[in-house]
Structure 1
């Protein structure tokens, strides 16, 4: 940690260390906070031991990695992966402020690999402050058995949105007007279902959120995508389940809970209908295929 010139950096920071992780090998929320640096703020790390997720809430800053300097500004979100060192610092005339979360664990590494986030510094124009608020509320709230699951899902949601967000035009940040057409609404509904994939979500929830009747919503969705909103939500859930079965050693009960099924039997029935075999049989089949290679 350093400063342009002598002495230590001067800034206001809200920082929390999280020490309630139950399975740190799989997923570990290390820390989170909000930072208001001054113009002299600079952080330099020779090696980064955690995956860092930050969102610029105001101003301008810079990230330097392997001799390349990248400008980040209000509305930019970036992931700095574990590994080699980097520096970041404020613009002297317009210092940035940001929220941040640091995590590590095999699940985080698998998400980054699965979604193709292979650059050391990965930047998208995306506002994740609502996720930060939910992480803070969950981490600092009452101790609940499902807190770690909620934190894991929130971090996964950020990584998923980062991976699927359209790259920002770095030459022009002027907001284009949003025109509410049937196609735009249906696309927004689709993206929202993907974002809430592992949560319980009803057509009534969607109808209220997007201000459209359930029947019209389903008619438009079926016309564009060939399946209903509830079918698409189930498809997303089961794709998530397939990923966990392939990439983790989580129990069937844990996966069922993680993707939002009320119990194991409902999960098993839905998986059987889609894949023609139980989750256990699917996992055994995968292991058998891997052993034959």
Structure 2
């Protein structure tokens, strides 16, 4: 009993609402909500909800997908009301108020997945979920299959289960994104602008001296661009550019005989001191120490 209480205390964010304990099943991965991973499933499971199943929250730390198998739930997300039932997907982002209430005559059975990651916001926007809504599933058989696979792999608790579940989750959301209608796509101009700026950075980061260069090249206001990066990648343009520069610098250090000064020039640092200082801040050691430490591993 003591062990069960410890588990329930650790996983209280999942074990909420009245359910059939004998039928319901859950899996939990050791992933912190402030993870720097691109996409990481935190926990999930299958629940057979009781007729009086009800959950009301003002906020929640994770992104959540709800995939009903049968039955129905009245689902309020933000200020919108939906019927969550087979053939639909419910989704909400962190910080979005939501309220579940089962149809007492036809209680819902569902698989749910809670996740986090730096890519989660962009995925939500791509699929048209925004901060939260219920949408019709267009390719039900495929999404239903992938959902069952996530549940199966999660319950196996194998070493690669977290990684596999994250990959299948991404596939589910991207499958749903394929059905995004033209009218809905018009609402994603901000996402398209972000992608344009990101693409420019990805192709030209070595020549970029500051985020202003990106804003000018992509015809966007610098402050607006900064908001886009915080919204879709949880970082700033400057941080993103610097990460790409230093990742490339590390690769050059290990694969060439260029001096530290020359490596800095290669990735766009005119001042070698500025390069070394940022490299040490990012990797924890100087460029020369990095080369000497890792060169023997090649």
Q: Does 1:157 align with 2:157?
A: no
- How is 1:118-197 mapped onto 2 (pairs within 5 angstroms)? 118-126=130-138, 127=140, 128-139=143-154, 140-144=156-160, 148-165=162-179
Q: 1:77 to 1:115 in 2, by over 3 A?
A: closer
Q: Secondary structure at the match of 1:29?
A: strand
> How many angstroms apart in 2 are the aligned matches of 1:114 and 1:52?
15
Q: Which residue of 1 aligns with 2:56?
A: 44
- How is 1:238-249 mapped onto 2 (pairs within 5 angstroms)? 246=198
Note the alpha carbon deviations across 1:89-141, whole angstroms, 9 max, x for none: 21111111111100011111222234553242242225333212322343325
Q: Which residue of 1 aligns with 2:219?
A: none
- How is 1:60-71 mapped onto 2 (pairs within 5 angstroms)? 60-71=72-83
Preserved CA contact (<8 Å) 1:117 1:163? no
Q: 1:115 to 1:68 in 2, by over 3 A?
A: closer
Preserved CA contact (<8 Å) 2:64 2:115? yes
Q: Secondary structure at the match of 1:47?
A: coil
Alignment gaps of 5+ in structure 1: 2-7, 168-242, 248-278
Q: Does 1:19 align with 2:35?
A: no
> How many angstroms apart in 2 are the aligned matches of 1:64 and 1:281?
39
- How is 1:1-293 mapped onto 2 (pairs within 5 angstroms)? 9-12=18-21, 13-19=24-30, 24-26=35-37, 27-126=39-138, 127=140, 128-139=143-154, 140-144=156-160, 148-165=162-179, 246=198, 282=203, 284=205, 290-292=211-213, 293=215
> How many angstroms apart in 1 are the aligned matches of 2:105 and 2:82?
17
Alignment gaps of 5+ in structure 2: 1-11, 182-194, 216-298
Larger Rg: 2
Q: 1:286 to 1:108 in 2, by over 3 A?
A: farther
Higher share of residues assigned helix:
2
RMSD: 3.6
- Normalised to the residue count of structure 2, the TM-score between the two structures is 0.51
Q: Which residue of 2 aligns with 1:275?
A: none
Preserved CA contact (<8 Å) 1:124 1:165? no
| Matched length | 180
> How many angstroms apart in 1 are the aligned matches of 2:44 and 2:111?
8
> How many angstroms apart in 2 are the aligned matches of 1:97 and 1:283?
49
